[in-house]
């Protein structure tokens, strides 16, 4: 498929050492990185020159997980986002001005199905907290290369959180929505999403937003289903359901894109070419964002 990045098929190979692949891919393009081992997970931390940072402005921590579910190629979950961020890292490296981006490829996101504390991002966020790194804007890019409608994860649980955390989170959410407005990519939505690496950071008291992508028809059907079926949001977030019949019914209301995850059908053929361009545009706009640190 001509629109896919070079070496993408190699990254999907069942025996690919994806951590080593990311480092090799970046190094071949002049970008340095190191492996950051935390609690048995190996995260890849991209090293940009110190001149690319200005302490007057907030750091933007940008994350994509590189692990995948067993038995699935993981093309959209989350290989394509990894390539979008790797190629973005090359563009960031070549910038003449500062960008304030802290870029990480995380390990262990798929373990979050066993509880957020098992997720690799949880231990990473815990480390951030111990080091006093709690004022970053954290953006998680997950499953962004099928469709053209950017979706920001809607989080209602914030209403129970401490005031200062809520204030920081809603500020980040508003700035994320404004970012999508300014990119001129067209429509975007705020909808309930299954938790990604953002869950690990939120659980550690660090605001984080998740950004994904959906085909327009799937996004519209999902939005209509949320209005009609009040239990769907809880099912999407927490997989809470009264019985198996309800689970099958509610699963049928979720976007087809999500039903491909963790299956052999999350493959190259499921991806769409325009998604890569939309994601690149959002990432480049994010690099230009400057929020005064406080």
- CATH assignment at residue 45: 3.40.630.10
- 263, part of any domain: no
The secondary structure of residue 50, as a DSSP letter, is G
- 81, part of any domain: yes
- 264, part of any domain: no
Instruction: Say yes or no: 94 and 221 in one domain.
Output: no
- 45, part of any domain: yes
Least confident of 157-166, 210-219, 227-236: 157-166
Kindly report the pTM of this predicted structure.
0.95
Q: Which strand ranges, in their side-by-side order, compose the sheet holding 60-65? A: 32-38, 41-47, 101-106, 60-65, 137-141, 208-214, 149-153, 189-191
CB 104 within 8 A of CB 61: yes
The pLDDT mean for the chain works out to: 92
- In angstroms, the CA 257 to CA 212 distance is 11
Which residues on neighbouring strands pair with residue 151, listed in sequence order?
189, 212
Tens of pLDDT along 32-83? 999 999 999 999 999 999 999 999 999 999 999 999 999 999 999 999 999 9
Instruction: Say yes or no: 122 and 245 in one domain.
Output: no
CB 165 within 8 A of CB 205: yes
- 259, part of any domain: no
Q: Strand runs (DSSP E) across the chain, as ranges?
A: 32-38, 41-47, 60-65, 101-106, 137-141, 149-153, 189-191, 208-214
Q: How many residues does the chain have?
A: 294
Instruction: Say yes or no: 199 and 238 in one domain.
Output: no
Is a pLDDT exceeding 90 seen at residue 196?
no
Q: Which residue would you say has higher pLDDT here, 201 or 224?
A: 224
Mean pLDDT of 254-283: 97
Tens of pLDDT along 133-153? 888 999 999 999 999 999 999
Instruction: Say yes or no: 29 and 143 in one domain.
Output: yes
- In angstroms, the CA 164 to CA 198 distance is 18
**Structure confidence at residue 134 (pLDDT):** 87
Mean pLDDT of 236-255: 85
Least confident of 14-18, 98-102, 110-114, 255-259: 110-114
Instruction: Say yes or no: 160 and 240 in one domain.
Output: no
Print the domain residue range for 22: 8-215+269-288
Instruction: Say yes or no: 226 and 237 in one domain.
Output: yes
Confidence band of 247 (pLDDT split at 50, 70, 90): confident
Mean pLDDT of 174-184: 91
Instruction: Say yes or no: 283 and 235 in one domain.
Output: no
Is a pLDDT exceeding 80 seen at residue 292?
yes
Instruction: Say yes or no: 240 and 99 in one domain.
Output: no
Instruction: Say yes or no: 148 and 205 in one domain.
Output: yes
- In angstroms, the CA 51 to CA 144 distance is 30
- 262, part of any domain: no
- In angstroms, the CA 181 to CA 178 distance is 5
**Structure confidence at residue 117 (pLDDT):** 66
Instruction: Say yes or no: 14 and 26 in one domain.
Output: yes
Confidence band of 199 (pLDDT split at 50, 70, 90): confident
Query: Number of structural domains, the chain?
Result: 2
Is a pLDDT exceeding 70 seen at residue 22?
yes
Instruction: Say yes or no: 141 and 221 in one domain.
Output: no
Is a pLDDT exceeding 70 seen at residue 114?
no
Say if residue 78 is preceded by a cis peptide, omega within 30 of 0.
yes
Instruction: Say yes or no: 284 and 195 in one domain.
Output: yes
- 88, part of any domain: yes
């Amino acid at each position: 498929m001509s629109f896919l990045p070079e070496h993408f098929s190699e990254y999907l190979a069942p025996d690919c050492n994806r951590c080593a692949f990311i480092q090799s891919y970046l190094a071949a393009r002049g970008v340095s990185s190191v492996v950051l081992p935390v609690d048995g997970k190996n995260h890849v931390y991209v090293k940009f020159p110190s001149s690319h940072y200005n302490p007057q402005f907030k750091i933007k921590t940008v994350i994509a997980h590189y692990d995948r579910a067993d038995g699935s190629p993981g093309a959209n979950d989350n290989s394509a986002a990894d390539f979008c961020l790797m190629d973005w890292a090359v563009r960031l490296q070549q910038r003449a001005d500062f960008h304030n981006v802290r870029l990480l490829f995380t390990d262990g996101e798929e373990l979050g199905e066993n509880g957020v504390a098992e997720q690799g991002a949880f231990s990473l966020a815990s480390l951030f907290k111990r080091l006093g790194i709690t004022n970053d804007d954290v953006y998680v890019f997950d499953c962004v290369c099928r469709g053209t409608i950017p979706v920001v994860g809607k989080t209602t649980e914030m209403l129970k959180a401490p005031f200062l955390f809520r204030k920081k989170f809603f500020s980040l959410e508003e700035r994320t929505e404004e970012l999508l407005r300014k990119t001129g990519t067209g429509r975007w939505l705020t909808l309930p999403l299954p938790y990604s690496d953002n869950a690990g950071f939120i659980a550690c008291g660090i605001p984080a937003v998740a950004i994904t992508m959906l085909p327009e028809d799937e996004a519209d059907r999902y939005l209509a289903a949320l209005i009609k079926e009040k239990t769907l949001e809880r099912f999407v977030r927490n997989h809470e359901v009264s019985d198996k019949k309800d689970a099958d019914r509610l699963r049928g209301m979720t976007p087809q894109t999500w039903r491909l995850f963790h299956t052999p059908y999350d493959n190259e053929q499921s991806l769409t070419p325009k998604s890569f361009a939309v994601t690149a545009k959002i990432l480049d706009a994010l690099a230009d964002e400057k929020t005064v640190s406080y």
